[in-house]
Structure 1
Amino acid sequence: MMKLHAFAICAYKDSPYLESCIRSLKAQTVQSDILLCTSTPSPFITGLGEKYGIPIYIRHGESSIRDDWNFAYHKADARFVTIAHQDDLYRKDYAEKLLECEKKYPDMTVFTGGYAVVKEGRLSGFEAVEFIKRILRLPLRFRRISHLTWVKKSALRFGNSICCPACAYNKEMLGEPLFTSPYRFALDWDTLYKLAELPGRFICVERPVLFYRVHGDATTKACIADNSRAKEEAEMFLKMWPAPVVKVLMHFYRKAYKEYD
């Protein structure tokens, strides 16, 4: 019988933060299935899987964010799947809040929430970037109309206000593969924009549901360094706005990159 929810952790190499992520999932007030998925198998990952009694699934082939996420999504045998990022910590009532929303809104395709930033091991609180994102997510707080395409897209038109690792996807309604975008950094934004066009409701719990870790080895920082983030974000904005508006948006958006300095 398919479970209601599963955390599918995408493990990449030997992250010093992976065990903390696992512990946060094990500490949930409502238990969900937990699985480890990796395209970079190692004794370190195997050891943590054995220590916490978590099944490990290995994807053979070159590592790819899109392919790794789709693999994890596929392996999770549950109605709702959270692609857990190994760097982050989940609040102990994440699954509880998800299930409460599912009972109230059976047509929910995406569950999400806010986040607090952890930088170099310290909780930095609500930074300016997250404050702005909370404003951008405001349309989703009108839950009675959060099934409408324009409402869902309005939370994405000025940038991706939805935190990717905070999302749980309704696998029964959305099917597979979930991630079809060619992007590396804007993969989640592009995916959510496409999902907004499908039937179903986006539900946002406007409070931190996880602690998002910012560190020097994060993929986001690498995408800033090689300019792929700016390129992909500009392309996403061009899907929604004329070029002169995109130029203005990107001027302000680049300032947010300092979050990773």
Structure 2
Amino acid sequence: MKYGPKDHTFAICAYKESPFLRECIESLKKQTVPTRLIMTTSTENSHIRSLAEEYGIPLFVNHGAAGIANDWNFAYHHCRTRLITLAHQDDMYHPDYVKYMLHDLNRAKHPLIYFTDYNELREGQEVSGNQLLKIKRLMLLPLRIRAFHGSIFVRRRILSMGNPISCPSVTYIREHLPATVFIPGFKSNIDWQAWEMLSRNKGEFVYEKRPLTWHRIHLESETSVSINNGNIRAQEDYAMFLKFWPKWMARFIMRFYIKGEESNTMER
């Protein structure tokens, strides 16, 4: 076995005073295969510190440059294990996330990242089949075939039409990745930019079709805030499409992509 529980760390990225942080921690504590937990933040406060102390989780405070990419890189670099999952504070993890992650990675030859399908949480209710989720699952359909996990062509074609990979569901195989995964600059497409960069490398994008995470959609979430700021989001989406397509094609795709993203807000 290449990877075991001792090789993995959940790094919980905490920010301000999320009312959902405890639920995230609880879902990680309830893993059927326990692994290491740390918590990082650039907005230290009594809420974050008290939860870290209550659950016995080491807390690391980023006093350096602010921004989501810098916060994620800070969390990533404070993990000392070969496998790293950046747990987003508003989201939740299936009790068998680690179990399936280790199983799938031990079947892979040279994995770069591992990620799973996901469901949404909206106002406390689980949503498993809205339009956005159906589209993302359709985009990822080729990766249900293990033989395609290592295909640079297949994953770049998938990413050329949008970002169907749920960032909280991703486990990073540190030894196969560059020292810095996230590039500061973008506000909303930091993860898509990372997948595009990594998609050029030889290795596998290991996809688990089981929905093993829950992504929470609420008005204060980074996803909703960035989408509601339509100008910035549209500029970043267009910049990403230009990494795959000529300008005329990127503009054409944008017409449909913006409509699909609107379902990620609470107004719908």
TM-score, length of structure 1 as denominator length: 0.96
Could you tell me which residue of structure 2 aligns to residue 249 of structure 1?
A: 253
Match of 2:207 among 204, 208, 219: 204
Deviations 1:232-251 (CA, angstroms, capped at 9, x unpaired): 01111111122232222111
Could you tell me which residue of structure 1 aligns to residue 198 of structure 2?
A: 195
What is the SS of the residue equivalent to 1:8? strand
Q: Which amino acid aligns with 2:137?
A: R
Could you tell me which residue of structure 2 aligns to residue 170 of structure 1?
A: 173
Where structure 1 has 5 or more consecutive residues not aligned to the other structure, the ranges are none
Deviation at 1:89, TM superposition (A): 0.5
Could you tell me which residue of structure 2 aligns to residue 53 of structure 1?
A: 56
Q: Which amino acid aligns with 1:234?
A: Y
Aligned 8 A contact 1:8 1:83 in 2: yes
Match of 1:228 among 225, 228, 232: 232
Where structure 2 has 5 or more consecutive residues not aligned to the other structure, the ranges are none
Q: Which amino acid aligns with 1:252?
A: F
TM-score, length of structure 2 as denominator length: 0.93
Q: Which amino acid aligns with 2:198?
A: L
Q: What is the CA RMSD across the aligned residues, in angstroms?
A: 1.6
Question: What CA distance in whole angstroms lies between the structure 2 residues aligned with 1:148 and 1:125?
Answer: 28
Question: What CA distance in whole angstroms lies between the structure 1 residues aligned with 2:6 and 2:178?
Answer: 16
Could you tell me which residue of structure 2 aligns to residue 66 of structure 1?
A: 69
What is the SS of the residue equivalent to 2:7? strand
Deviation at 1:122, TM superposition (A): 1.1
Question: What CA distance in whole angstroms lies between the structure 2 residues aligned with 1:62 and 1:175?
Answer: 20
Question: What CA distance in whole angstroms lies between the structure 2 residues aligned with 1:232 and 1:61?
Answer: 25
Q: Which amino acid aligns with 2:259?
A: K
Deviations 1:200-234 (CA, angstroms, capped at 9, x unpaired): 10011112110110000011222123221111011
Q: Does 1:108 align with 2:108?
A: no
1:180-191 → structure 2 map (5 Å cutoff)? 180=183, 182-191=185-194
Q: Which amino acid aligns with 1:182?
A: G
Q: Does 1:135 align with 2:141?
A: no
Could you tell me which residue of structure 2 aligns to residue 219 of structure 1?
A: 222
Question: What CA distance in whole angstroms lies between the structure 2 residues aligned with 1:149 and 1:95?
Answer: 26
Match of 1:238 among 218, 233, 242: 242
Task: Name the stretch that deviates more: 192-201 or 16-25.
Answer: 192-201
Task: Name the stretch that deviates more: 155-164 or 245-254.
Answer: 245-254
Task: Name the stretch that deviates more: 244-253 or 72-81.
Answer: 244-253
What is the SS of the residue equivalent to 1:202? strand
Q: Which amino acid aligns with 2:258?
A: R
Count of paired positions:
261
Deviation at 1:124, TM superposition (A): 2.0
Deviations 1:138-183 (CA, angstroms, capped at 9, x unpaired): 2222212321211221221110011111100101111411112531
Task: Name the stretch that deviates more: 168-177 or 13-22.
Answer: 168-177
Aligned 8 A contact 1:140 1:155 in 2: no
Task: Name the stretch that deviates more: 120-129 or 176-185.
Answer: 176-185
Aligned 8 A contact 2:70 2:184 in 1: no
Aligned 8 A contact 2:114 2:171 in 1: yes
Could you tell me which residue of structure 2 aligns to residue 258 of structure 1?
A: 262
Question: What CA distance in whole angstroms lies between the structure 1 residues aligned with 2:187 and 2:169?
Answer: 18
Aligned 8 A contact 2:149 2:207 in 1: no
Match of 2:96 among 93, 105, 121: 93
